[in-house]
Each structure stands twice: as C-alpha cells, then as structure tokens.
Amino acid sequence: MTLHNLAGQTLGQYELREILGIGGMGVAYRGYQRNLERDVAIKILFPGLAAEAGYLERFYREAKTAAALEHAHIVPVYDYGVQDTISYVVMRLLTGGTLEDRLMSRAEQNKPLPSLGEASSLMKQLASALDYAHNRGVIHRDIKPSNIMFDDQGIAYIVDFGIAKLVESSTSYTSSGSPIGTPMYMPPEQWRSETLRPAADQYALAVTLYQMLTGRLPFEATTPYGLLHKHLNEDPTPPQSFRADLPYQVQDVLERAMKKDAADRWESVTAFAQAFDTAIRGQTGELSGFFDGPVTRKKTATFGPGSLVSFNTNSPLVTITKAPPAYKQPVFWVMGGLLLIALVVVLVLLLTQGDNQTPRSTIAPEMLRSTVVAELGLTQTAQVNGGQTAEAAVALALTGTADAWTPTPTLNFAATETRQAVFDRESTADSFATSTQESVLYTTALAGATSTQDALLIMAGATADARATATQQARFAAATATQEINNQTATVDAQIAATQQAIQQTATADFEGTETQVAAATAAQQELLIMAEATANARATASAAPPDL
C-alpha cells in the first residue's frame, strides 16, 4: 500500500501542514482551517478504502456518529468529508501529545512512572467517556495509548471513535484474515472476530492501565500468533513482577477486567475505574508530573521515496512518498510562462491604445457661433453698434475686429466641393478611429471655409480639441497601426496642397486686375496657411501628451 505525504495540499477549506503521526488506519496531520483561522487535526484514512462499494455510505454514517458524541473527554469532531479518493475527519487539535508519547519519553529519559493516584485520575476521565459512548451504542474497538491524547493542561481525550468500525467493515482488511485492532490490546473475542460489546473496550483499557503502571505489557510475544495464543489462553503476568510496590488488590482488579469471557468482566468501565480507585486507597503515592507539561513527540517514521513504515504487527507495510513541491513540477513553469506572455500582450495593447487616442472636438463651429450670438442676445439680422450686423458683433466679441467676419464669396464654390469630398472620405476614415482621421477632418474644414469667420470658428474648435480628454479608445493591431497612420498622413498632405492650389487659382481668377482684391486674396491665403499650421501643431501637441484619463 502506497501513501503520499500530503503536507502542503488542500482539502476543501483545510490546509495540510505537517504529519503528526501514523497509525494502522491512516495518517494524522496538523491542519489549518482558513475560514475560521484556526489549527486543527485532520485524520486521513487510507485512500484504498474509498474505492470499495458502499464505503462512502459507511464513512458518512460513522463520521456522523462520532461527531454526535459530545463529552468532556472525547475529542470534538469538527468536520468530515471525501475529496477524490481521500476521506478525512477534522478534529480539535490537541497539543499535549498522546499517552504513548509520554510512556516512550519516560523510558528514554528514565523518568518515574505515574503515581497510583495520577493513574486513577486518568482512569476516571476515560471511563466516563467510554460509558457515555457505550450508552449510545458506540464501541471504540481500538483503545490504546496512541488513541488517548492530552491538551496543554493535561486533560485526557479519547480520539478516533468510529474509525476502527469503519475499517473493520472494509473487505480489503477483512479478506486478509487479520482482525482489526492493535494486537497488544485486543480482547479474545476480537481475535476470534466475534461480535464486540462494551466489555471489549474495558479489556483494552485494562491492558493500557497495566502498561502505564508497570511500563510493560501483560502479554508479550515476538509474533502476532504468539500474542494470539496468550490473549486466548494465558493469564496476564502479575503486575508486581515489574513493580513491587503495587497493592495485590490492583492485580485482582486488573485480572477481572481482562477475563477471557466478556461476561465475567466488570459491569461497566466506570465500575472498573471505581474498583481500581478503591484498591489503591491510602497508597496513591506522590505526584510524579507524568501528565504535566509538554512532551517530546516520538518520531513515528522518516519520509522519503522508498521508505517503509510498519504501523503495528498486523498492518501492511506502507510506502510513504513525499510529493514534490509545486515549483518543482513542470506544469508550474508552463503555466507561469503562459501567464507571463498574457501579461505582456495586455501591456502592449494598453500602450497601443494610449498612443492611438485622439482628442475629438465636442463643440462644432456652428454651435460655437450660435452660442456667442445667444450670449449677446442678438439675432442674425439685428442691427447693433450704429448699424453693425449680428455677424459683425459676434466677430468683434470673439476676435476684437469686425473685419474678420467679412464674407469671401469667391471661396463658396471650392468650399462646397471640398465639403462633399470630406463627407466621402469621412465614411471610410471613421472605421479606423485614429488620430490621422481627425487630421483629415480638421484640414479639410479649414480648406473649405466660406469666410474668415468660419476659419476662426474652426480654429476655436481646434483649441477646444486640444483640451478635450480622450474618451474613445481605438483597438487595432499595433503591427498595422503605423502603416495606416503613414498612409493617412500622406493623404492629408496631398489634400492640403490641392486645397491651397485651388484657393490660389480661384482667388487669382476672381480678383485679377484689382490690386486691392489681389492683396486681400493673398492675405486670406496666408491666414489660412498660418491657421493650418497652428492646427497641425495643436494636433501634434495633443497626440504627444499622454491622455488624461
């Protein structure tokens, strides 16, 4: 059976952080519950169980039964679930270690065993928890030192209720012919695969108490078959053989709790604990501190590819492999590369959009003129300032001189043709939504102005364009954007030249022979060229400045 080290993985809202211990039925992890921000203990059962028919139904049934047990000395079950082939139970994290940890630490450091009074106090806690579960029809089936844990104040808890029964119903375990449980603590009826009753937990607890008092087991053998024979046929070794100060009444209490026939044992676990407390009365001894303070956790296994761990004498060998961290897996780098490419593409598109943003006038020339007239309270035919028309008053308000509004009739024909051409070109240019499109519109409008008045209005609109914030973004490929801008710029240059030539020819034909008229046409032409250059400069400045979004 192969079991991966899942440290670093996530099960729902739980993060598996480190292995706490390994047993014959699964692996316990220190976990973290993200939504409540607390540390928890997570028991992962062997993944092979989930593949069996009916397993999920059994798992949820036993998990609900365990979660319903609410007792001061039964570890609370917070949650349980199945993800893929992994079934898990989430419990309160106990930081005081197990009874097995304390027994091993005592042996390694040559510390004293617990006093009889301390052992009796522990027995009362455990007996109340077991009888509470038994009265609700729940038998633990695997009482042993590793399933007795402590919090940081030395209070005892029984863990793993229901798990032994769940595994016991697994065909992969029962078909092997080995009974479910831990051989050193199993009662004879469990060895014989008989129906278990509450007295089975009493037997296992008596073996645990015997080990806690003497540091040894009542039945010892080098093979499971040797243990089987002793549990079925022999009496336990007298505890005084390992600890001479024990009262002989303690031996009697222990022997009854370990009777071969379950019916001959104490009527309840509480009765067993009370009999033990009576047997040591007056000989409780001095406090040893066995259950106080932190305990060095025993090393249950070393992990790495190919390492083998035997959980107990009847458990299969399990290969523990540690999954490589995410950053060492090829898929991590592939996904990272794709993400980087996507970010670069998005950045290029954003930069391209910023370059292609062009200010668009929000005030048409006609609207600007109408607004000024309205502000002056005039009409187009009103006479003001000694016979001055409304047009002249508007021009004076905008430019300081009424002469700037003098009509130039000779440009009307060229303006009409130019406007039609501009209309035709706008239908095509609108699809690109580029800065060159705006250049075409402004330049053509200047060329087709019917009077100096119109030129002034267009120049005012261009000034407003320079101040407008870009709100429309053009999205097109950066590879073709430059070519399109160059083509549109060349078209604009050609249109400017053609319009200027038409103006010059028209002005020369209409005003030829009159020096004053020629001078006026030349001045108008120069003014248009100056305004065209000013507009181009304004466009260049607006394009160079970053959009004020």
Q: What percent of the chain has pLDDT over 70?
A: 53
User: Nearest to residue 354, comparing CAs of 470, 492, 493, 432?
Assistant: 470
For residue 38, how far is the Cα from the chain centroid? 17
* Tokens at 38, concatenated: 């607390």
pLDDT of residue 183 exceeding 70, the answer is yes
65-71 average pLDDT score: 95
CA distance 357 to 184: 82
413 falls in which pLDDT band (50, 70, 90)? very low
Residue 388 has pLDDT above 70, yes or no: no
**Residue 344's beta-bridge partner residues?**
none
For residues 137 and 130, give the distance between their C-alpha atoms in angstroms, rounded to a whole number. 11
142 as an active site residue: the answer is: yes
Whole-number pLDDT of residue 502: 60
HSE-up (13 A, CA, CB side) for residue 498: 14
Over the chain, what is the mean pLDDT? 72
Task: Tell me what percent of the residues of the chain surpass a pLDDT of 90.
Answer: 40
- CB-neighbour burial class of residue 437 (10 A; exposed 0-12, middle 13-18, buried 19+): buried
Mean pLDDT of 227-253: 95
CA dihedral 192, 196, 201, 204 (to 10 degrees): 0
179-183, 343-347, 497-501, 538-542: the lowest-pLDDT one: 538-542
Express each pLDDT in 86-137 by its tens digit. Answer: 999 999 999 999 999 999 998 888 888 999 999 999 999 999 999 999 999 9
**Tokens 């940890």 -> residue:** 101
The answer on pLDDT for 363 being more than 50 is no
pLDDT at 376 over 60: no
Q: Which of 39, 84, 131, 142 is catalytic?
A: 142
455 alpha-carbon distance from chain centroid: 61
Res. 291 pLDDT band, cuts 50 70 90? confident
Per-residue pLDDT, 471: 41
Instruction: List, for residues 516-543, the tens digit of each pLDDT value.
Output: 554 554 565 566 566 656 656 655 655 5
Which of residues 255 and 470 earns the better pLDDT score?
255
Is residue 229 pLDDT above 50, yes or no? yes
Chain segment 128-148, per-residue pLDDT in tens:
999 999 999 999 999 999 999
Mean pLDDT for the stretch of residues 276-299: 82
* pLDDT tens readout for residues 17-55: 999 988 777 899 999 999 999 999 999 988 777 677 788
Report whether 377 contacts 371 (CB < 8 A).
no
The H-assigned helical ranges of 408-477 are 412-429, 435-447, 452-467
The string over 264-278, giving b where at least 16 C-beta atoms fall within 10 Å of a residue's C-beta and e elsewhere, is ebbebbbbbbbbbbe
| pLDDT value, residue 445 | 42
Q: Which of 17-26, 149-158, 167-176, 328-337 has the lowest mean pLDDT?
A: 167-176
d(CA 29, CA 16) in angstroms, rounded, equals 6
Q: Count Cβ atoms below 10 Å from residue 428 Cβ, excluding itself.
A: 10
Query: Do the Cβ atoms of 520 and 410 come closer than 8 Å?
Result: no
Kindly tell me if the per-residue pLDDT of 279 is higher than 90.
yes
Residue of 421 and 227 predicted with greater confidence = 227
pLDDT value of position 332: 64
Over residues 382-390, mean pLDDT = 49
More confident residue, 140 or 365: 140
Residue of 416 and 3 predicted with greater confidence: 3
pLDDT at 403 exceeding the cut of 60: no
Overall average pLDDT of the 387-410 stretch: 48
Does residue 542 come out as left (phi exceeding 0), alpha (psi in the -120 to 50 range) or beta? alpha
Mean predicted confidence (pLDDT) in 431-439:
44
